[in-house]
Structure 1
């Protein structure tokens, strides 16, 4: 199969912009809670903001921006972590027909300069003093900012006071002039294999994405009769996070914000917010699983946990065989074990997430198939999807009730997927962007966008991502190697945090590996390793042997020519702060290869 499309579920909007949903909700259900904010006096408690109250705050801020000189078509940059004010500013910007320019809060001076220069933003809203220093360093003849507003200096209140003399109609007149083809946001691409680009997403793009997901998957977001609740913790500067925000405000879903994605911050936030649905990336689900496994070992229940995980995996595999007509499904003994572990283990795992989540979505990169099966067997079904910045979020997703583990699903309704002759994935639909800022002729050809990813369509039209074109390694012997499978298998080991496979123009394939600090500390405590090792100390022999076994398992899935012959355990993890990870936690391959050039060379001088 080379091409597949899915009929549209929703009619493309012909009028209006994204800010309209705030005003429509406030008119229709003014008392409906639409956002939950942390109580400053008690971070474990959440205060609800009604639709009417949120509209009032959006209007006040929109008037303030008008009074400060922002006009329709102007571009307003927002550099902040995921927080309530981010959502507030974005809807105020859209209410007056201005364009949003999301900026990752971890952006370097160089990255910020490039985005501000390309977008020609004249106003920027930042979070703190550190961001102020970055902005100041980025300004030159190409970046001419007219105003910088700082959230932790109460810019929301100050702007509200600045525009208090304006009438509501001053905002409504501009809001009603917005049409779906107008630019909503200039969103920066991840830049995993090259420089980031400013992708132009329209109000129509984001509306089509959100409305399609709500129409097709909305019933999965919460129990019947209850208001769904979603905690946003992905960067709102990313199209995935931006889509979550827009979908919540269009669908009347209670939205919360969490600025950190570390397990230490995220798990308590999930437990107190108690979402009914979860949007995440594979890293989040891997961390949830690894944290639960370590907690089980610390409580002397590791064997119980591993038996429960094996049972969940076996149960789901049996169900899959039954659904495909290749077996009779789980037998009586397996059903009994599964029911036992539901009481002893699975409910506890879901309890860590607040106890109400039974369905989730994973995006950003493919989720490991067996990890998805384990979660499904434990009562948390994770729907895997695929998309890019250019597709306003997802362009494929697994259909409700029909998860196909190891794939990223079928085209979203109204979208199409084509596999080109060289294996590249091409996509088309109302969710696809109009092009890139200041890059003429960069719009998709005939509506088709070449994604740069490699994939295939299975017999039922489910897309399988096999790698990225620019990531393909060609050894000096001419062997082509797709690193994704090897990296994914090595990362499945509890000790491993990240893995980068290298070998382009080299005689064989090798790997750089980083360790999870929490997992390493736990391993040393429970496996008799160095009790007082310091960060950066070389790994002891037991740790290296464990990683060597993980590499051997990964090598068993490929030919000898594709197997990893050497590896190096690095002293620290790759991070967003050092520019080696994208904000969506994907590897910046070229940056890592440059930063660790000496270590890579050493892998080939044995």
Structure 2
């Protein structure tokens, strides 16, 4: 048998997967569905529903489990979903909704179907999927994507990684997040590889911002995948875990992609010394998830790689990176749905492209700090260097209008003392020019996550909220000297 998907119970062959997909697609069509939202854990049920929506010409709106009730209600209303598929336990949130059991391949799944009264959605023509991304305000914004665009990205990833012979990919990120959906699940399907789709708790996820690295390492070792996609914080925690136990990465791994935030050449180097074949990439939801990627044979640590075959990247006159290829159709709702992007999309990131075509991201355009001495500093530049230091899990840098920069730091473990954080700051300062060095720092009053209100649900720091929560970061009496 050549499995297409593996879940916690059994392996699904490609024929199993297609039979289940066709059966559910037929049901969707007979029910007259236009838009179906899902609120589901990783698993074969998610994959079957996603492919069934594609086959039936139904728009799929996958919602992450870490969304708040307000974010879920906002997304459901804005998308005009005709039905929501979710675990029975979650259906209690909507006691007024009738429940219809969802059956895939004659096997009842632990999900129910909730029909919803919905107004016709305002969608750009050709929309196949809507992915919601929460920005720094936490209000999700719906990005409308076409099936052709999504497949172009998946095929591009599969083509680029083809020489590595990846046969087993373990989905380590939520499938409701576009990166794992397209560059993981769909790229594996396009390459004829097996995707291992396990419940997130099996992989060590505890909510959206806590992680059990021992469990993750054990699961990866047990399932022996060839490839993974990680977030930088997951990679940093794995490197620390392996180093503290003098262990090496599972020998099965051939390729580990890392993206979603700056990684840094130092963390890449430390990971590779432990046997982790790590390569940094870059992309955004408006471009279908991935635009650039390092890989064996085209690798420059510290960069985010060269553009993938489907994508182009250029630098605007003001230093902002712009991307083209497989762009979104528009944003969900209102006038924005009728305003598709042009050929090039501004990413909001500052960067440059070197002589060999490798793209280097220098930070967010809107986050650039201008110190009291008139020096422009990207906080992400300093934050990336802080996060690779032993003991530092999260770091956010401030200093707009200040004589010197300051940072709010959250340690890897609650029992780490401030002396370790101080040494980390000193080590980073030794690598930076004077105008980018940290004169001030403080231990964060709470973890920088959505629970504390100091980050969005997908981990982006709420900079204004963090600064307001740490009013003594900058001494009021400090003057220019």
**What TM-score, normalized to structure 1?**
0.69
Tell me the distance in 2 between the aligned counterparts of 1:133 and 1:161: 11
Q: Please say if 1:273 is aligned against 2:172.
A: no
Gaps of 5+ in 1: 1-30, 40-46, 137-144, 163-180, 223-227, 297-347, 524-542
Deviations 1:154-205 (A, max 9, x none): 997289999xxxxxxxxxxxxxxxxxx8322100124146743110111101
In the other structure, the counterpart of 2:181 is 242
In the other structure, the counterpart of 1:35 is 5
In the other structure, the counterpart of 2:461 is 588
Which of 395, 398, 405 is matched with 2:301 structurally?
Answer: 405
Per mean C-alpha deviation after superposition, the further-off stretch among 181-190 and 48-57 is 181-190
Q: Please say if 1:90 is aligned against 2:30.
A: no
Name the larger-Rg structure: 1
* 1:367/1:384 contact within 8 Å kept: yes
Q: Please say if 1:50 is aligned against 2:32.
A: no
Tell me the distance in 2 between the aligned counterparts of 1:203 and 1:253: 20
Structure 1 residue 50: Cα displacement: 0.8
In the other structure, the counterpart of 1:350 is 249
Q: Please say if 1:106 is aligned against 2:71.
A: no
**Cα–Cα, structure 1 residues 422 and 195, in superposed 2: closer, same or farther, change >3 Å?**
farther
Which of 39, 46, 53 is matched with 1:79 structurally?
Answer: 39
Tell me the distance in 2 between the aligned counterparts of 1:581 and 1:151: 35
Tell me the distance in 2 between the aligned counterparts of 1:193 and 1:465: 23
Per mean C-alpha deviation after superposition, the further-off stretch among 206-215 and 469-478 is 469-478
Tell me the distance in 2 between the aligned counterparts of 1:472 and 1:155: 55
Tell me the distance in 2 between the aligned counterparts of 1:135 and 1:597: 36
Greater length-normalized contact order (CA 8 Å, ≥ 6 residues apart): 1
In the other structure, the counterpart of 1:437 is 332
* 1:101/1:187 contact within 8 Å kept: yes
Tell me the distance in 2 between the aligned counterparts of 1:91 and 1:377: 39
Matches within 5 A, 1:283-302: 283-296=233-246
Q: Please say if 1:427 is aligned against 2:326.
A: no
Matches within 5 A, 1:122-521: 122-129=82-89, 131-132=90-91, 157=108, 182-192=126-136, 195-222=139-166, 228-243=167-182, 244-258=184-198, 259-260=200-201, 261=205, 262=211, 263-296=213-246, 348-351=247-250, 355-429=251-325, 431-438=326-333, 439-440=336-337, 442-445=339-342, 447-517=343-413, 521=415
**Cα–Cα, structure 1 residues 265 and 413, in superposed 2: closer, same or farther, change >3 Å?**
same
> What is the DSSP-based 3-state SS (H/G/I as helix, E as strand, rest coil) of the residue aligned with 1:157?
strand
Quote the RMSD (CA, aligned, Å). Answer: 2.9
Tell me the distance in 2 between the aligned counterparts of 1:213 and 1:482: 30
Structure 1 residue 53: Cα displacement: 1.4
**Cα–Cα, structure 1 residues 448 and 156, in superposed 2: closer, same or farther, change >3 Å?**
farther
> What is the DSSP-based 3-state SS (H/G/I as helix, E as strand, rest coil) of the residue aligned with 1:205?
helix
Structure 1 residue 441: Cα displacement: 5.2
Structure 1 residue 123: Cα displacement: 0.7
Matches within 5 A, 1:538-549: 543-549=417-423
Structure 1 residue 579: Cα displacement: 4.9
Tell me the distance in 1 between the aligned counterparts of 2:473 and 2:141: 34
In the other structure, the counterpart of 2:120 is none
**Cα–Cα, structure 1 residues 492 and 94, in superposed 2: closer, same or farther, change >3 Å?**
same
**What TM-score, normalized to structure 2?**
0.86
Structure 1 residue 254: Cα displacement: 0.9
**Cα–Cα, structure 1 residues 563 and 128, in superposed 2: closer, same or farther, change >3 Å?**
farther
Question: Which structure shows the bigger proportion of residues in strand conformation?
Answer: 2
Tell me the distance in 1 between the aligned counterparts of 2:476 and 2:100: 53
Deviations 1:316-343 (A, max 9, x none): xxxxxxxxxxxxxxxxxxxxxxxxxxxx
**Cα–Cα, structure 1 residues 440 and 58, in superposed 2: closer, same or farther, change >3 Å?**
closer
Structure 1 residue 34: Cα displacement: 0.7
Tell me the distance in 2 between the aligned counterparts of 1:401 and 1:75: 42
Corresponding pairs, count? 453
Which of 447, 466, 471 is matched with 1:573 structurally?
Answer: 447
> What is the DSSP-based 3-state SS (H/G/I as helix, E as strand, rest coil) of the residue aligned with 1:270?
helix
Tell me the distance in 2 between the aligned counterparts of 1:479 and 1:55: 58
